[in-house]
Structure 1
Amino acid sequence: MSTTAPHPAPGGPYPSSPDTLVLHGLRLKAFPDTDVLAAAIGLPEREAASALATFAEAGLVRRVEGHVTGWSLTADGRREGERRLAEELDAAGAREAVRGDYERFVALNPDLLSVCTDWQMRGDEVNDHGDADYDGAVVDRLVDLHVRVRPVLADLRGHLARFASYSQRLRGALERVTEGDRDWFTKPTIDSYHTVWFEL
């Protein structure tokens, strides 16, 4: 595990250590393989694998094999991850600013839930996506929501560098949706718009 605290560039966002990114990523992802975790947190796979091996030896993470396969936090690992995130906020001097930004983000949750529900359902019936005009109107609402959340994301990543990945992943999911790939709206097993939103 890295023992050297990261140092922010003058005037720039505070960078998370790779170890903190790995622990936080496991808090968000359900039993990811190393490559999936590395992609989600923006680390080279080799670096993520090294951190996982070290954390496994320390009893902070475990590898699950069987019907469900992947990495997960132990109880000690969850506590360590929470400690590191709190330490990071204080080191960045960003606790109050991030709290305010997050409240602005949470205020948009009802709109995200509404647009996702309308994507999946039409009234009391499952949306079969046979009506292009209906689907197009719902996608337009998602685009509008993305425009409204972008300033919040920009402020968050201005404080902590790890928030930059959310902007990139949400934008990537939205681009796929607007190109006609419906899975990237709400599918839970990929980095769909809904999935990434609720990892924030």
Structure 2
Amino acid sequence: MLAGRGPLWLRRADGGRHRLDVERWCGPPDAADRSVLDRCAGRGPVLDVGCGPGRLVAELMAAGTLALGVDLAAAAVHHTRSLGGTALRRSVFDPLPGEGRWGTVLLIDGNLGIGGDPGCLLTRTRALLAPEGRLIAEVEPDDLDERIEVCMEDDAGRRGPAFPWARLGARAALREGGLAGLRTAEAWTSAGRHFVALAR
């Protein structure tokens, strides 16, 4: 994946699959990414959960914003560092630096689905945020609330182990955020992608 080439999918237990946008993740920030980066400006340090190849972390650091990526994949952490970013190989549910002091936490590129339990993830995210901090999450374009089991599948049909995942549209994400003690700050669309911002 980190070579920037796909295709790569999330294969569902029911046989459906969702294409992962590997080429975009490995490229420079696009217009939708810029809409996220602009909202990080002036808000303090940024934690990118599931940072992948690190395009957002590297861009933030190049602009002078303190940023940290966390990802379970060693290759993702290495790639982020190769771009000049800072990253740790760690789960968001592990102890992290700066807990309770992050100005912005990012859940971009489908990472609101991490762990398959958005309520648990959003509760954890709230604990990471500074008192005036914000979570920015990318959401599905449809009115969707799915808790599913998936595996990674490449173009040759090779599959990895199954893991829990979730897919939420804006309405479900805002509802889960409210249950986690977060309030709606903003929702927007950029270049066909959809985002919400939640505040403590």
- Tell me whether the two structures share a fold, i.e. TM-score over 0.5: no
Larger-gyration structure (1/2): 1
Give the TM-score taking structure 1 as reference length.
0.29
Instruction: Compare the two structures and name the one with the higher strand fraction.
Output: 2
Bigger proportion of residues as helix: 1
